[in-house]
Structures are given as C-alpha cells and as structure tokens.
Amino acid sequence: VTGFGVRTATTMGELRTAGRSLATLDLQPGELLARLSRTTATLARDRGAAQQEAGHLRAGCTYAEWDPLSCEVTVARAGGPEVLLVRPDGTIDTITTPEGPPLGGPAEPIPSVTAAVPPQSLLILHTSGLTEDPAEVPGLLRRALDRLPDSDGVDPRALCDELSDLLTSHPRAIEAQVLVCRVTAFPRERVATLALPDGPHAAEAARACCEQHLREWGLGEDIRFNGQLIVSEFAGNAVRHGSPPARLRLIFDQALTIEVSDTGGNAPLLRHAQEGDEGGRGLFIVSQLADRWGTRYENGGGKTIWAEVDTPEKRDEGEGGS
C-alpha cells in the first residue's frame, strides 16, 4: 500500500486480514488476487465516502503458493514485484510472471504461472521499494549472497541480515520489506495414492487403502476408524455425483489429510437432513469427524474435496497453547 501514516498502516492491515481469509478458501492464486482486488476497491470507496474525497487507493500484491508434493510454486501478481529464486547451487533466477492490474484496479483476470523449483531453494518476495530500479534487485541479492560464508546451504535469516545491512547502508526514500522462504519436499513415504474404480466398489477400495496405510504410519484405532468413514463418503460422492476418473490421496504430516479428486465441476453441498430423510447426512458426518474440510478447484479442471483429521498429539498441542 503506497503512502505513510496511520491510515496507510490500517489499510495494509485490513488487506492482509482479507488476504489471509481468502487463503483459507483454497482459491487459485490468480482468483485470490482478483477477489482481493475487489475488496481493495470496496475499501477505497468506503474510505473516500468517509473522508469525503476521491477513494483513490494504490496497492500491489504478489502471491506465491508452494506445493511440497509436486515441488512446484504458483505465482500471481497484482501490481507486485516478481518472485526471485535462489537455487541450491547459488544461482539466481526470476520466476517470470505476467503482471496483472494493481489491487483495486480494473476488474480483469489476473494470470498465474506455475514453475518447478528444486527443493531447498529460496523464494524471495519483496516490496517494490527494495531498489529504485527493479532490474537491480538480482544484483543486490547477489551481493548479499556473496557476503555469506561458504556452506552447504544458505541460511534465510543470515541472508535477510545481509540484505538489511546493504539496504540501510545509505539513506532511503521509502521503506522495503523482504520475505525469504526455504522450500522443502514432502517425504514420499508419507503419501499414498489410489486410482478409484468407477462403480460401487470405489468406497470399498478407498477404505482398504486407508486402513493399510494408516496402520503402516502407526496411527491409532480412532483416527483409522474416522479416516475410513471419511474416505468412504468422499469416494461414494465422487462416483455418484462426480465424473471419472477419481483418485484418492492420503497425506500424513502433523495431521492426516484425505483427498478425493474427480473431473467434475459440481462441489458437494453440506446438508442438514431432517428427521425423516433417508440420505443427505454424509458430509455432515464428515464435518463432525474432521477438524477441517473443504473443496478446491484444480487448474486443469475438476475438483478435490479434502478433510484433515488431527492426531491426538496435535490436538494436545493446540489445547496447551490456547
């Protein structure tokens, strides 16, 4: 957000909160920024009405989403700078991404780009005030990297310290912010996939796959039971209401993630069945068993319905921190 003072800081906080809320909806980066742009336009109108002045608000954003399973990053820009990439061998690249209109600008589609990134690379996001000329940013990053001691990998904190030292070595007209992220791959042994048969045996196959892998991962009886109920409901919905082919994916990290994907575009709808209804309770049961669940639409078409079930250890950690 351009400008200084309390109003600018308040606006930045409002947009950050809106962005974080949108991120929970499993939107593609371009769609997320398009919605955030509409929110920015609304804030500009409201601010203009309150101040009895033109609601002009200039803001930009770069949004990056890392997939540790495919080792790909998807980037979209709405008036924000491009993302820089530092590979494990120290080479610097730019993830070239078309620039969409700034936040609050014309209601146009915001394109996104997906690029393969080697694990242990660094992604560098920054504000536009990092250098006077955007073309000078890779050179600034190179100087900061050269000041670091030789080691097997670059410490993100040390890189931030060197960038801060270089940026504060001379007076600056505007402030700058830098975010350095190290990306890692997810362990393949904690992921299981299954192509579901197109027919009444899909739920049975999904339950068997779930039971096998959850036992191998050492999960307890309760989470295995809940997981089988969830995969059964998801697989049944994919067969009855989706379009083949359907696929099950199980991911075990701090929680068990259950995903069922198909090529259909109709999202499942949570119903509150009445006492005399014979069906319609499946997703309600899922919502009670899962700690989080939702639906996301894929870039190439189709959808994925997912659920997360926390392990007892994670639930204990959450209760201890509350």
For residue 246, which of 288, 285, 290, 209 has the smallest C-alpha distance? Answer: 209
User: 């989706």: which residue's tokens?
Assistant: 242
Give the rounded percent of residues in the chain with a pLDDT score beyond 90: 56
pLDDT of 144-164, one tens digit each? 999 998 777 788 999 999 998
Amino acid making up residue 231? V
At residue 54, the pLDDT reads 46
Structure tokens at 184: 């890692």
- Over 80: is that where the pLDDT of 174 sits? no
- Which of 192, 270, 274, 195 is CA-nearest to residue 237? 270
What pLDDT is attached to residue 111? 92
Enter the DSSP assignment of 322: -
Tell me the sheet residues that pair with 305: 260, 295
Most confident of 132-136, 142-146, 300-304: 142-146
At 322 the pLDDT is 52
Confirm if 206 and 260 have CB atoms less than 8 A apart. yes
Q: How confident is the model at residue 176 (pLDDT cuts 50, 70, 90)?
A: confident
- Rounded Cα distance, 241 and 50, in Å: 48
- Report the top-level CATH class of 188-321: alpha beta
Categorize the per-residue pLDDT at 276 as very low, low, confident or very high, splitting at 50, 70 and 90. Answer: low
Q: Which amino acid is at 164?
A: S
pLDDT at 177: 85
CATH 3.30.300.180, domain 6-182, yes or no: no
For position 110, what pLDDT does the model report? 92
Judged against a pLDDT cut of 60, whether residue 49 lies above it is answered with no
Tokens of 130: 């990092």
Higher pLDDT, 181 or 284: 181
pLDDT over 70, % of the chain = 88
The average pLDDT across 204-219 equals 96
Tell me which of 183 and 106 has the higher pLDDT. 183
Q: What is the DSSP letter of 59?
A: B
Give mean pLDDT, residues 89-114.
Answer: 92
pTM: 0.84
Domain assignments of the chain as residue spans, ordered by start:
6-182, 188-321
Condensed to tens digits (0 to 9), the pLDDT of residues 9-22 reads 888 889 999 999 99
Distance CA 207, CA 201 (A): 10
DSSP code per residue over 255-313: EEEEEEEES--PPP------TT-SS--HHHHHHHH-SEEEEEE-TTS-EEEEEEEE-HH
Rg (CA), the chain: 23
Helix (H, G, I), strand (E, B) or coil at 132: coil
